[in-house]
Amino acid sequence: MNLQTSIPAPRHADAKERLVVIGNGMAGCRAVEEILALEPDRWAITIFGAEPRVNYNRIMLSPVLAGEKSFDEIVINTAEWYADNGITLVSGDPVVHIDRAAQQVVSRGGRIESYDRLLIATGSDPFVIPVPGKDLPGVVTFRDLDDVETMLAAAETSSRAVVIGGGLLGLEAAHGLSLRGMAVTVVHLMPTLMERQLDEAAGYLLKSELEGRGMTILTGADTAEIIEQDGRVGGVRLKDGTEIPADLVVMAVGIRPNGTLAKASGLAVERGIIVDDDMVTSDPAILAVGECVQHRGACYGLVAPIWEMCRALAAGLAASPKGYEGSVTSTKLKVSGVDVFSAGDFSGGEGCEDIVLRDAARGIYKRVVVKDDRVVGAVLYGDTQDGNWYFDLLRQQQDVSDIREALIFGQAFAAGGALADPNAAVAALSDDAEICGCNGVSKGKVVACITGGAASLDAVRAGCKASASCGSCTDLVERLLALTLGDGVEESAKTLCGCTSFGHDDVRPAIVERGFRSIPQVMQELHWSTPDGCSKCRPALNYYLLCAWPGEYVDDQKSRFVNERMHANIQKDGTYSVVPRMWGGITNPRELRAIADVVEKYDARMVKVTGGQRLDIFGIKKEDLPAVWADLNAAGMVSGHAYGKSLRTVKTCVGSEWCRFGTQDSTGLGVKLEQMSWGSWMPHKFKMAVSGCPRNCAEATIKDFGVVCVDSGYELHIGGNGGIKVRATDLLTRVATEEEALEHCAAFVQLYREDAWYLERTAPWLERKGLEWIKAQLYDDPGAVKALAARFHYSQQFMQDDPWAQRAAGDRADLHSHVGRITAGPPADGILKAMEPAK
């Protein structure tokens, strides 16, 4: 095809026009190919390349590093291609200057070339984080073949690598180095790997997979410096002090469009070189394409948009402009055996609906985000077969309302005509089709169970075990219930929240028995229907995990209600109240002075004696909390947990030490009880009291655990509370000594911690389970009290670390400070410097 007729005549009647290309990379060469396809004879072409080689497929550097491909296999344009098309390739000699007035470029080697049109395709530069040691030998980026060769040489002679950056590039580097036999640690600043492409759920699956392959993955890890040893890299030190020894450090934290040359020549450059829809820069004689450009505000770091840009560029040059309109991108990770796909916007938002499918047994997570009946984003893990289909639906903005119900099952299912109705699909299954894989239950058996009287999901689970294990077939069982019974289906027992079909009594044992260690893991394995839960289930799961794995599970601050995250009670005006512990209600001049000083120093608007026998300081700003705590700590006071689902107060009366009726040292026992159990997280708040005699001045019989002292020893009472619905305690048992009282208390608290539902206080818990059940757990087996108490004490080892002291020492300073500040001044001075990123 010859389009010569449609273009303006060349400047020199017989000579070809001169096209000079800067950058012998993927965009530069593809643009030339597109131009040659439209106008094979118009241009005399010269390409300058900084790299001393022909153009190759940069994205295949990862398989080269991993040993799955050789360099020869990834070459795109061989030397013959340049020769056959009459192209002069100047490789290994970068252009250092553009003289726009003279329409000339100058190379480092001194070569001068004139142009009629200039094409800039200089790609990107890897971003190097400015930490001490960044220039040491052994620190590399991952951008070109030279980098790969440096890494391969390092892998020959040394054994430990650290990759900084857990994005696409970093993980591909880590994978390659690990296949080359190195022990690899990935250091990633964000909590989720590939956080720009993956959500928390998929990020969790990816992390587990890579860890399973022997890599160490550190998330939320901020690099402080690269350590030197004998003049080269010795390791990496993180801001938290951790040191990781390494012989090779790969920086893969991101890229920056390379617009240096363009900027120096006076072209309009912001983040990238600014181009219009025909890829023309602010100078009509100069075009730009690839990662170095900024088009309609966007810069790209993937090849698919570049191919579209190159087509638009060639069409524009040939005076039949198509116009580039920007791209929607999708990503796949090139790590063999790990299937990850992500496209579009999956951060959700108004009017967005998440469709989530999880198949824990096969390690699959799929999430499709639909808005106004259009697919707007997708994240797939484990099964990426349908990635392209979703991506097509997304790009074409296709209305999916017809296939909405079956969308998540993939193209084969959703596009299958009648099968688009999932009810019809389930109805069409044969009687011996397997419904529940875990328990091997067929459709026939489930239907028989339903017709035999099971009218709810729970009844089916109890009757034939279908959906009673992993729960992934819950949806199928519910459809069978609906098909078989129509409107006769009964609501099942209360679930944890709207995100799951499981109840507390399903989730808790599952965590312990199946060893779940994190919130995303529970959500994946138990098929949560939302990507990251809600304000009901997140705090509950956080508590269940904390209770199940003391000393091991790391508390998830973002799943904590504000009071427990700030270690103070939020007030209606957004300030906080602070209640230090006063053991058993006893205080002394030093504590009182410290409290008085805090009230004055921080201008607290009120200080009040609480109903829990201690003092509450009101009106403290979140910024002042750490300083207030430091002052209180200095007087020996620790957090009173007035804000927590945890031990609150232990009220006491004066007892045998002073009172003429006192039978035992109730004050002393109260202090001991509080010292034993403070700091422990519980399903709900937990209050105790010790009264010195049955006159019960400490109101022990409306407490979660109350002790009434009598001549012969101690009566132990449980399950009481004041509040909206007052409940007096039940008598649990009588014991003779203080030691026994303490041990029974520890055992009871632990039983409550391990069994009650989150946000269920002891009173409703006792009524649900029955006093007899609680007594049986404690006393049927003679070793039970000791075993429960031992578990409580073990857990307390990790809990009795004053959270105030940690904060006063600077822990989580981000929670107590502002991230920035805006002043009213004119634009230029209005900008305050960025504050330090959070740890």
Partner 1 sequence: MSADWVSVCAVGAIEPGMAGTVPVEGAEEIAIFHTIGGAFYALVNKCPHKGGPLSQGIVHGDSVSCPLHNWRISLQSGEALGGDKGCTPTIPLKVEDGMIWLDRAAIMARAGA
341 binds ligand FAD (CB under 6 A): no
155 binds ligand FAD (CB under 6 A): no
The minimum distance between CB 673 and ligand SRM, in angstroms, equals 15
744 binds ligand FAD (CB under 6 A): no
- Determine contact, residues 585/649, Cβ cutoff 8 Å: yes
**In the numeric block, which tokens belong to residue 463?**
């009757």
Residue nearest to ligand FAD (CB): 25
Binding at 567: pick from ligand FAD, partner 1, ligand SRM, none (beta carbon under 5-8 Å per type)? none
The minimum distance between CB 542 and partner 1, in angstroms, equals 10
> Can you tell me the distance from the alpha carbon of 735 to that of 712, in angstroms, rounded to the nearest whole number?
8
Tokens 């520890």 appear where? 746
Binding at 668: pick from ligand FAD, partner 1, ligand SRM, none (beta carbon under 5-8 Å per type)? none
Which region, judged by CB under 6 A, interacts with ligand FAD, from 212-220, 288-296, 427-435, 462-470? 288-296
- List of residues 6+ apart from 319 with CB closer than 8 A: 6, 7, 8
- Determine contact, residues 112/106, Cβ cutoff 8 Å: yes
Nearest-CA neighbor of 803 among 637, 604, 572? 637
> Can you tell me the distance from the alpha carbon of 167 to that of 184, in angstroms, rounded to the nearest whole number?
15
538 binds partner 1 (CB under 8 A): yes
The minimum distance between CB 298 and ligand FAD, in angstroms, equals 13
621 binds partner 1 (CB under 8 A): no
Binding at 121: pick from partner 1, ligand SRM, ligand FAD, none (beta carbon under 5-8 Å per type)? ligand FAD
Binding at 122: pick from ligand SRM, ligand FAD, partner 1, none (beta carbon under 5-8 Å per type)? ligand FAD
Backbone angles phi, psi at 736, to 5 degrees: -95, -30
β-pairing, 183-187 vs 160-164, is parallel
Name which position in 189, 261, 426, 650 contacts partner 1 (CB under 8 A). Answer: 189
Smaller CB separation from ligand SRM, 229 or 571: 571
> Can you tell me the distance from the alpha carbon of 690 to that of 701, in angstroms, rounded to the nearest whole number?
9
Binding at 648: pick from ligand FAD, ligand SRM, partner 1, none (beta carbon under 5-8 Å per type)? ligand SRM
Name which position in 138, 170, 234, 290 contacts ligand FAD (CB under 6 A). Answer: 290
**Which secondary-structure segment (H or E) carries 142?**
none
Smaller CB separation from partner 1, 48 or 553: 553
- Determine contact, residues 281/262, Cβ cutoff 8 Å: yes
> Can you tell me the distance from the alpha carbon of 415 to that of 819, in angstroms, rounded to the nearest whole number?
48
**Which secondary-structure segment (H or E) carries 703?**
none
Smaller CB separation from ligand FAD, 147 or 616: 147
Name which position in 17, 28, 82, 533 contacts ligand FAD (CB under 6 A). Answer: 28
Q: Which residues bind ligand SRM (CB under 6 A)?
A: 569, 571, 577, 579, 608, 610-612, 614, 616, 642, 648-649, 651, 685, 687, 702, 721-724, 761
Name which position in 88, 347, 385, 397 contacts partner 1 (CB under 8 A). Answer: 347
Binding at 579: pick from partner 1, ligand FAD, ligand SRM, none (beta carbon under 5-8 Å per type)? ligand SRM
- Determine contact, residues 124/257, Cβ cutoff 8 Å: yes
- In the DSSP assignment, the letter for residue 178 is H
**In the numeric block, which tokens belong to residue 598?**
């805090």
Name which position in 557, 712, 737, 797 contacts partner 1 (CB under 8 A). Answer: 557
- List of residues 6+ apart from 452 with CB closer than 8 A: 463
Binding at 723: pick from ligand FAD, partner 1, ligand SRM, none (beta carbon under 5-8 Å per type)? ligand SRM
> Can you tell me the distance from the alpha carbon of 762 to that of 718, in angstroms, rounded to the nearest whole number?
8
Name which position in 200, 276, 283, 740 contacts partner 1 (CB under 8 A). Answer: 200
Smaller CB separation from ligand FAD, 95 or 236: 95
Strand partners, 249: 139, 162
Question: Footprint of ligand FAD on residues 539-568 (CB under 6 A)?
Answer: none
Nearest-CA neighbor of 77 among 67, 69, 85? 85
Tokens 């002393």 appear where? 668
220 binds partner 1 (CB under 8 A): yes
State which amino acid sits at residue 803: P
Binding at 302: pick from ligand SRM, partner 1, ligand FAD, none (beta carbon under 5-8 Å per type)? ligand FAD
Binding at 649: pick from partner 1, ligand FAD, ligand SRM, none (beta carbon under 5-8 Å per type)? ligand SRM
Site string for partner 1, 573-602 (x = CB under 8 A): -x----------------------------
Smaller CB separation from partner 1, 447 or 519: 519
Binding at 5: pick from ligand SRM, ligand FAD, partner 1, none (beta carbon under 5-8 Å per type)? none
Binding at 36: pick from partner 1, ligand SRM, ligand FAD, none (beta carbon under 5-8 Å per type)? none
State which amino acid sits at residue 197: Q
- List of residues 6+ apart from 486 with CB closer than 8 A: none
The minimum distance between CB 90 and ligand FAD, in angstroms, equals 8
> Can you tell me the distance from the alpha carbon of 779 to that of 743, in angstroms, rounded to the nearest whole number?
13
Smaller CB separation from ligand FAD, 65 or 566: 65
Binding at 608: pick from ligand FAD, partner 1, ligand SRM, none (beta carbon under 5-8 Å per type)? ligand SRM
685 binds ligand FAD (CB under 6 A): no
The minimum distance between CB 20 and partner 1, in angstroms, equals 30
260 binds partner 1 (CB under 8 A): no
DSSP secondary structure letters along 670-704:
HHHHHHHHTT-B-SS-EEEEEESSTT-TT-GGGSS
296 binds partner 1 (CB under 8 A): no
446 binds ligand FAD (CB under 6 A): no
CB contact burial 464-487 (16+ within 10 A = b; e otherwise): bbbbbbbbbbbbbbbbbbeebeee
Smaller CB separation from ligand FAD, 20 or 799: 20
832 binds partner 1 (CB under 8 A): yes
Q: Distances in Å between the alpha carbon of 300 and those of 35, 164, 257, 293?
A: 22, 21, 9, 8
Q: Distances in Å between the alpha carbon of 731 and those of 457, 651, 701, 748, 765?
A: 38, 18, 9, 13, 15
Question: Footprint of ligand FAD on residues 110-129 (CB under 6 A)?
Answer: 121-123
SS3 state at 223? strand
Which region, judged by CB under 8 A, interacts with partner 1, from 167-175, 300-308, 525-533, 585-593? 525-533
**In the numeric block, which tokens belong to residue 531?**
């990507």
Tokens 């994205």 appear where? 59
- In the DSSP assignment, the letter for residue 361 is T
- Determine contact, residues 725/734, Cβ cutoff 8 Å: no
* Residue 803: half-sphere exposure toward Cβ, Cα within 13 Å: 26
Strand stretches in 395-480, DSSP E: 434-436, 441-442
Tokens 């088009």 appear where? 295
Name which position in 46, 150, 223, 258 contacts ligand FAD (CB under 6 A). Answer: 258
Smaller CB separation from ligand SRM, 294 or 613: 613
291 binds ligand FAD (CB under 6 A): yes
> Can you tell me the distance from the alpha carbon of 213 to that of 27, in angstroms, rounded to the nearest whole number?
35
> Can you tell me the distance from the alpha carbon of 175 to that of 252, in angstroms, rounded to the nearest whole number?
13
724 binds partner 1 (CB under 8 A): no
Backbone angles phi, psi at 652, to 5 degrees: -135, 165
346 binds partner 1 (CB under 8 A): yes
- Determine contact, residues 520/208, Cβ cutoff 8 Å: no
Where on the chain is the footprint of partner 1 (CB under 8 A)? 189-192, 195-196, 199-200, 220, 222, 271, 346-350, 352, 354, 530-535, 538-539, 557-563, 565-566, 570, 572, 574, 814, 818-824, 827, 830-832, 834-838
Residues found near ligand FAD in the complex (CB under 6 A):
22-28, 48-51, 58-59, 61-62, 94-95, 121-123, 142-143, 169, 172, 258, 261, 290-292, 301-304, 306, 334
